[in-house]
Structure 1
Amino acid sequence: MSVISAKGLTKNFGKFKALNGVNLEVDKGEVYGFIGPNGAGKSTTIRVLLGVLKATEGKAEIFGMDAWSEAVEIHKRIAYVPGDVNLWPNLTGGEVIDLFVKLRGGSQRRKREELIDRFKLDPSKKCRTYSKGNRQKVALVAAFSSEADLYILDEPTSGLDPLMERVFQECVKEAKNEGKSILLSSHILSEVERLCDKVGIIREGKMIESGTLEELRHLTRTQLHVETREPSPGLVKIPGVHNLQKNGRAATFQVDSEKLEDVISYLSSYGVLKLESAPPKLEDLFMRHYKGENSGPVGEGG
């Protein structure tokens, strides 16, 4: 059984359709990367899953329960971290962490202390004195200290420095190894590629690609750098070759994965002296969908 199952989710705000038939499936022990630019519908989808918003159409279930009508039961088993954490200004970070953990019915004191140390958080300070990054740390420590079965993380590393991002990534991997499920909304594509088993790309309220990273690799292009014994003048005419840059007998270009064999076969007749390839990246796939679109920068919210 899927931990998260969303089918045909539609959400209208007046005449504006924020979500348009979104399908999303997250299995047990899986890290699902949910990506898209500002305003694409990521946060709206997450609010529907959390039972904060009611879908106009479609159905969302978590642990087999209805996300809207059974939200209270569902929340006992999930941990949620938003991209911009608001905390009680007069409580200390440690008090907030304890409150959140208690609300979820867990008490992992040793885990709490270990996470505070790893995230280099001072829990004795009042929340009003915290920077954005420290507020995120409080929410992350509270989430990973709790006995949750599902983590819903919406731009969770917003405001963290690279060292703390690495600690976060370690925590996600540890949770996955314990059989937990994670829905990770992020605009940091390298983070998604490093952590996620499956990826869904949303654009203007519609899911435009979803699947495992391996399933999506065929949609991206491989970067090649090649040097030949003789110049290869016809390379530019070969179908599947893109962004060709030539310098004498050296050439750098991208090639559609399904045309790779044809390109290599053509180059071999000119005597290949050097061939370097870089595997297709998630960023290449993402940019193919968004290049030239006026969809705004990739970032928080959505």
Structure 2
Amino acid sequence: MVVCQGLCKRYGAFDALRACDLTVTAGEVFGLLGPNGAGKTTLIRLMLGYIHPTAGTCRVAGIDVVDDSVAVRRNVSYLPGDARLPRHMRGKGVLEFFAAMHPDGDLQRSLDVAQRLDLNLRTHVAFMSTGMRQKLALAVVLGPRTPLLVLDEPTANLDPTVRAEVLQMVREARADGRTVMLSSHVLSEIEETCGEVAFLRRGVLAHRLTMSELFQQHRITGDLDRPVADRLVDPNSDAIPMQFADRLVCSLADDAAGVSGASGSNSSTTVRLDTSGDLASFLGWLDDLGIRRMRVEPLGLRAVYDAVHFGQTIPVGVSTAPQGAMHAAGTSRPSEETVS
């Protein structure tokens, strides 16, 4: 559905997007993650032909966005992160206006979405709350049955119940065979809906993963005798069995408060083990190690997000991207920065 090759956007000396190679398969929900200013909106606007690339190409539904951006937008329904609606119109009038504008507009579907979101369409836009305007924008965008649906922060300013309903509509769009590109800062929403995720950082597509791979990752923490822990984190040690070597990353806890016991060779320390694959095969070995106060939890998208954007080691099993998925990924080690 979307194929970007070497896509770049430069403003003077500033690179808003650099050498982006991205493929989005038809019929999937694809997530875009990254802090504010990472390049997500720039990528979307390039895809839709609102701005022209400095270099590279992009095709949407087989159409080159530079050659015929109008044809591209016929195939797309787009919710921008800063959607503006006519303030002098009532809600129903807005739906009628946009349904008539888009070639695939469907007023009844938009009205049905508004009803599902519990939106009063008799109110003027000028008198709507921020959340009501977001619902109205969603009703506009979810009306047309376009092959591609692009949603930039679709659940912003919505209460939890309405958020859940919007995510259900995303899943329904996928079930209908449509492709959805979803940009969100709410990681749990990405985990619930997306099949694949790309991470943007400072204009570079820095990492990509399949969610099915992520769901096989677990983080185990617990206390170990210090000599045993030191052997596990020693790269020259054979403490980790061969069958686990490529599925396990061991490290000592960074938090000094996690260290317990008396000082000396028999003191204990907190270790962290990131695992990939079937967890059951590790349990017997962990028991033999003598690990205490063990806690097991799914790794989750937050751990990968932090690893990408804070320069940490990307957890085992999720550190590779499909062939050709990225260009310039991992060209430099990210430095610490604030994540929005």
Deviations 1:61-113 (A, max 9, x none): 10110112211111112100011211111011211122222222345454333
Match of 1:280 among 292, 299, 318: 299
Name the structure, 1 or 2, with higher relative contact order (CA <8 Å, separation 6+).
Answer: 1
**Given the alignment of the two structures, is residue 15 of structure 1 paired with residue 8 of structure 2, yes or no?**
no
User: In the alignment, which residue of structure 2 is the partner of 1:33?
Assistant: 31
Q: Whole-Å Cα distance in 2 between the matches of residues 253 and 33 of structure 1? A: 32
User: In the alignment, which residue of structure 1 is the partner of 2:251?
Assistant: 241
Question: Is contact 2:95–2:111 with CA below 8 Å preserved after alignment?
Answer: no
User: In the alignment, which residue of structure 2 is the partner of 1:163?
Assistant: 161
Percent of aligned pairs with the same amino acid: 29
Q: Whole-Å Cα distance in 2 between the matches of residues 136 and 82 of structure 1? A: 10
**Given the alignment of the two structures, is residue 255 of structure 1 paired with residue 273 of structure 2, yes or no?**
yes
Question: Is contact 1:10–1:57 with CA below 8 Å preserved after alignment?
Answer: yes
Q: Secondary structure at the match of 1:79?
A: strand
Give unmatched runs, 5+ long, in structure 2. 234-249, 262-266, 312-334
User: In the alignment, which residue of structure 1 is the partner of 2:196?
Assistant: 198
> How much does 1:236 deviate?
3.5
Give unmatched runs, 5+ long, in structure 1. none
Question: Is contact 2:99–2:105 with CA below 8 Å preserved after alignment?
Answer: yes
Q: Whole-Å Cα distance in 1 between the matches of residues 13 and 310 of structure 2? A: 27
CA root-mean-square deviation: 2.8
Question: Is contact 1:104–1:147 with CA below 8 Å preserved after alignment?
Answer: no
User: In the alignment, which residue of structure 1 is the partner of 2:174?
Assistant: 176
> How much does 1:133 deviate?
1.6
Pairs within 5 Å for 1:115-154: 115-154=113-152
Question: Is contact 1:10–1:22 with CA below 8 Å preserved after alignment?
Answer: yes
Q: Whole-Å Cα distance in 2 between the matches of residues 145 and 38 of structure 1? A: 28
Moved more, 263-272 or 123-132: 263-272
User: In the alignment, which residue of structure 1 is the partner of 2:186?
Assistant: 188
Q: Secondary structure at the match of 2:142?
A: helix
Question: Is contact 2:32–2:197 with CA below 8 Å preserved after alignment?
Answer: yes
Q: Secondary structure at the match of 1:269?
A: helix
Q: Whole-Å Cα distance in 1 between the matches of residues 11 and 20 of structure 2? A: 16
Q: State the aligned residue count.
A: 291
Q: Whole-Å Cα distance in 2 between the matches of residues 206 and 270 of structure 1? A: 41
1:294 to 1:271, Cα distance in 2 relative to 1, 3 A: closer
> How much does 1:284 deviate?
0.3
> How much does 1:246 deviate?
5.1
User: In the alignment, which residue of structure 2 is the partner of 1:297?
Assistant: 339
Q: Secondary structure at the match of 2:163?
A: helix
Match of 1:97 among 91, 95, 98: 95
**Given the alignment of the two structures, is residue 232 of structure 1 paired with residue 240 of structure 2, yes or no?**
no
1:211 to 1:266, Cα distance in 2 relative to 1, 3 A: closer
> How much does 1:210 deviate?
1.2
> How much does 1:234 deviate?
3.1
Question: Is contact 2:110–2:140 with CA below 8 Å preserved after alignment?
Answer: yes
Moved more, 147-156 or 254-263: 254-263
Q: Secondary structure at the match of 2:151?
A: strand
1:262 to 1:234, Cα distance in 2 relative to 1, 3 A: farther
> How much does 1:226 deviate?
4.7
Q: Whole-Å Cα distance in 1 between the matches of residues 17 and 284 of structure 2? A: 45
Question: Is contact 1:232–1:267 with CA below 8 Å preserved after alignment?
Answer: no
> How much does 1:297 deviate?
2.9
Question: Is contact 2:191–2:301 with CA below 8 Å preserved after alignment?
Answer: yes
Deviations 1:163-214 (A, max 9, x none): 1111110000000000000111111111111110110001011111113123
Question: Is contact 2:218–2:276 with CA below 8 Å preserved after alignment?
Answer: no
Question: Is contact 2:221–2:273 with CA below 8 Å preserved after alignment?
Answer: no
Q: Which amino acid aligns with 1:243?
A: A
Length-normalised TM-score, structure 2: 0.77
Q: Whole-Å Cα distance in 2 between the matches of residues 289 and 256 of structure 1? A: 16
Q: Whole-Å Cα distance in 1 between the matches of residues 269 and 90 of structure 2? A: 58
Length-normalised TM-score, structure 1: 0.86
Q: Which amino acid aligns with 1:150?
A: L
User: In the alignment, which residue of structure 2 is the partner of 1:222?
Assistant: 218
